[in-house]
Amino acid sequence: MRINIKSDIVGNDEAWIYRWYGIDCVTPKNVLSALDEARKNNNERVDIYINSGGGDIFAASEIYSALIEYEGEVMIHIVGLAASAASVIACAGVSEIAPTAMLMIHNVSAQTRGDYNAMEHSAEMLKKANLTISAAYRAKTGKTDDELLDLMNRETWFTADEAVSLGFVDKHIDTSKVRLVAADSRVLSLDTLEKMKSVARENEALKKQNSHYKNYIELKEKSI
């Protein structure tokens, strides 16, 4: 079974915003549903194709965990970009990378509002979140947390050769058998998501208002 991770990685509750605007996204629900189907087919091999700029780290963590726990074979193919949260998913099985592809790791980021207490709390949370991410890299590469956190702190981009030599990816893709692609994507910011939610809600409310008005006119015409 083929599962594509080729767009923004978002939480299940945010997927409707992307669908409403016609934007592709990947959610844990998508991947878990596909894995359930694969289990019904005698735990058939699952091929994960990654070309994603990343997204919500907790959504990526859920996908990573689901792939690690899957009873069948998991083969990961990095065909474009495995950046940020997508690089975590790339560590969930035996992996290969196209010569034109790249992998990127960096610190977890967030948006915070409030006084200095909120800022300090947010900083501590982000440091711990970095450790949870480095755990996936450590399990894959065997490198220490200090080594990995240093690479993350410097937002490190790896070519295919570097990703393989450092242990983030197991091998190179046999380019004689595949068509290579390369692309990038950017996750919608929280501010953008909130604005899009607001517009979508207003649109739905307007539709309901127009529907009620239409029903009112129809009933009025019938009563005349």
* 115 membership: H or E segment, kind and range: none
Q: pLDDT tens digit string along 108-157?
A: 988 888 998 999 999 999 999 999 999 999 999 999 999 999 999 999 99
The confidence band for 105, taking pLDDT boundaries of 50, 70 and 90, is very high
Q: pLDDT tens digit string along 157-191?
A: 999 999 999 999 999 998 765 555 555 555 666 67
Backbone angles phi, psi at 162, to 5 degrees: -65, -40
The confidence band for 193, taking pLDDT boundaries of 50, 70 and 90, is confident
The upper half-sphere exposure of residue 154, i.e. CA atoms within 13 Å in the direction of its Cβ, equals 8
The confidence band for 197, taking pLDDT boundaries of 50, 70 and 90, is confident
Plot region of 26 (φ>0 → left; ψ -120 to 50 → alpha; else → beta): beta
Q: Cα separation of 138 and 198, whole Å? A: 40
How many helices, marked H, and strands, marked E, lie in the chain? 8, 9
Q: For residue 160, what pLDDT is reported?
A: 97
pTM summary value: 0.77
Q: pLDDT tens digit string along 24-77?
A: 999 999 999 999 999 999 999 999 999 999 999 999 999 999 999 999 999 999
The confidence band for 223, taking pLDDT boundaries of 50, 70 and 90, is low
Q: What are the residue boundaries of the structural domains of the chain, listed by start?
A: 2-187, 189-224
The confidence band for 222, taking pLDDT boundaries of 50, 70 and 90, is low
- Quickly list DSSP for 4-29: EE-SEE--GGGHHHHHHTT--EE-HH
**Average pLDDT score over the chain:** 88
CB distance 74 to 46 below 8 Å: yes
CATH number of the domain located at residue range(s) 2-187 in this protein: 3.90.226.10
Q: For residue 188, what pLDDT is reported?
A: 66
pLDDT at residue 21 is higher than 70: yes
Query: Quick one: average pLDDT of 204-215?
Result: 67
Angle at 159 between CA 153 and CA 161, to 5 degrees: 120
Q: For residue 43, what pLDDT is reported?
A: 97
Among 121, 118, 117, 90, CA closest to 6: 90
